Amino acid sequence: MAILIDEQSRFIIQGITGREAVTMTRELLNYGAQVVGGVTPGRKGRDVHGVPVEDTVRAFTERMHVDGAIVAVPPAFTADAVHEAIEAGIKLIVIVTERVPRRQVAQFVEYAEQEGARIIGPNCLGIISPGKSKMGGIGGAAESTRRAFTPGHIGVMSRSGGMTVEIANALTEAGLGQSTAVSIGGDAIIGSSYAELMPLFEADPATHGIAIYSEPGGPMEAQLADYMRESNSRLPVVAFMAGRFMDAMPGVRFGHAGTIVEGRADTTAEKIARMEAAGIAVAERIEQIPALLKQRLGA
C-alpha cells in the first residue's frame, strides 16, 4: 500500500507542452506512471511522448475517470488551471509551479476544501510511491529515481523538494525503503501540511514510520507537534532541522501580529523544543535519520 497514488492512479498534466513538462512526461512514463492525457489550450490533437493533448480538462474527465492532475503551467495561469481541475471533479492536484501569489493559493485551497479535493504544493516536486507511480518531477529521470527511492515502509514529507529526495536516498542507502514520499511545497500557504497528511499515513498499513525535513519559519512543525500530542499516533516520527544558522542572524523577525496569531516564535531552536516535547526525534544530520527510525521501529 501507499498513500495518495499507486500503480492504478491515472492522471493528466496541465501545461504538458511546456519544456520542463515534456521532460517530466517522459520521466513519468519511463517510471511506469499512468499519464493518460495532457492539457494545453490550442494544442488539441497533438501528443507528447504518445500522451494525447486536449484543450480542456473536461475533454478527459467527460470520457474517463481521472484520479489526479499535475499543474505545470506558468504562475500567471496556475490559479485558473487549478480551478479548472477542481471544477472538473479531479480530487488530487499536484502543483509544481513556483511563485504563485499567496492570495490565489489561499483561494484555490479553500475551493478544494469545499469540493473535497486535495492539493499538494504549490512549489513542490510532487509525490512518489516507489515502485508504483509518481506525480511530478520528483527524483528526475526514471533510473535516477529508482536509485534514490526504493519501496518500503517509511513515509517521507518535506517542505524542500530537493531534500525529499536526499532524505529518501539516505533511507535507501541504509536499507529503509519508502511507502510514499511527498514534497509538500515551500510556500507560506500550501495545500497539505505535515499534520494534514499524517492521518493518511496513519491509515496506511504499509507505513511504519515517518521522516520529515523542517526549516525555520511558519507554523507547520508546531502544527505537527500538536497533532502528535493529540492523536495518539502509532507512527514514530524523525525530523531533520535545517537552517539552524538563521537563529543567529538578525533581521528576520516576526512582527506583533505573527506572534499573536501563532502564539510562539518560529526559530529552529523553538521548533526543535516543541517537536521533541511531542516525542518527535530531531536529527542533526541527514544520515542520523535511518538509525533514529530503526531504534524506534525496533528493527
Separation of alpha carbons 252 and 260, rounded Å: 17
**According to CB under 8 A, which residues from 178 to 197 bind other proteins?**
186, 188-189, 193
Task: Kindly state the smallest distance separating residue 33's Cβ from other proteins, in Å.
Answer: 15
Which lies closer to other proteins via its Cβ, residue 204 or residue 221? 221
Cβ-count burial 206-225 (b if 16+ within 10 Å, e if not): bbbbbbbbbbbbbbbbbbbb
Question: What are the distances in angstroms from CA 35 to CA 38, 182, 225?
Answer: 8, 19, 36
Q: Judged by CB under 8 A, does residue 281 bind other proteins?
A: no
Q: Of 65, 83, 153, 256, which residue is the catalytic one?
A: 256
Residue 107's Cα: distance from chain center in Å?
A: 19
- For residue 264 the three cell numbers come to 510562539
Which of residues 148, 171, 198, 275 is near other proteins by CB under 8 A? 148
Q: Judged by CB under 8 A, does residue 199 bind other proteins?
A: no
Which of residues 41, 111, 273, 294 is near other proteins by CB under 8 A? 111
3 state SS of 208: coil
- To the query of whether residue 256 is one of the catalytic residues in this protein, the response is yes
CA torsion, ordered 279, 284, 286, 287, to nearest 10 deg: -100
Q: Judged by CB under 8 A, does residue 77 bind other proteins?
A: no
Do 32 and 7 touch, CB atoms closer than 8 A?
A: yes
Separation of alpha carbons 59 and 88, rounded Å: 10
Task: Kindly state the smallest distance separating residue 74's Cβ from other proteins, in Å.
Answer: 12
3 state SS of 242: coil
Instruction: Determine the size of the site formed for other proteins (CB under 8 A).
Output: 65
Q: Judged by CB under 8 A, does residue 221 bind other proteins?
A: no
Q: Judged by CB under 8 A, does residue 290 bind other proteins?
A: no
Task: Kindly state the smallest distance separating residue 98's Cβ from other proteins, in Å.
Answer: 9
122: preceding bond cis by omega (within 30 degrees) = yes
Which lies closer to other proteins via its Cβ, residue 260 or residue 298? 260
- For residue 99 the three cell numbers come to 511563485
Q: Judged by CB under 8 A, does residue 65 bind other proteins?
A: no
Q: Judged by CB under 8 A, does residue 15 bind other proteins?
A: no
Cβ-count burial 152-181 (b if 16+ within 10 Å, e if not): bbbbbbbbbbebbbbbbbbbbeeebbbbbb
Task: Kindly state the smallest distance separating residue 192's Cβ from other proteins, in Å.
Answer: 10
Which of residues 262, 273, 294, 297 is near other proteins by CB under 8 A? 262
Active site residues: 256
Contacting residues toward other proteins, per CB under 8 A: 20, 23, 75, 99-103, 106-107, 109-111, 114, 125, 137-141, 144, 147-148, 158-163, 165-166, 169-170, 173, 186, 188-189, 193, 213, 215, 218-220, 223, 240, 242-246, 250-251, 255-263, 284-287
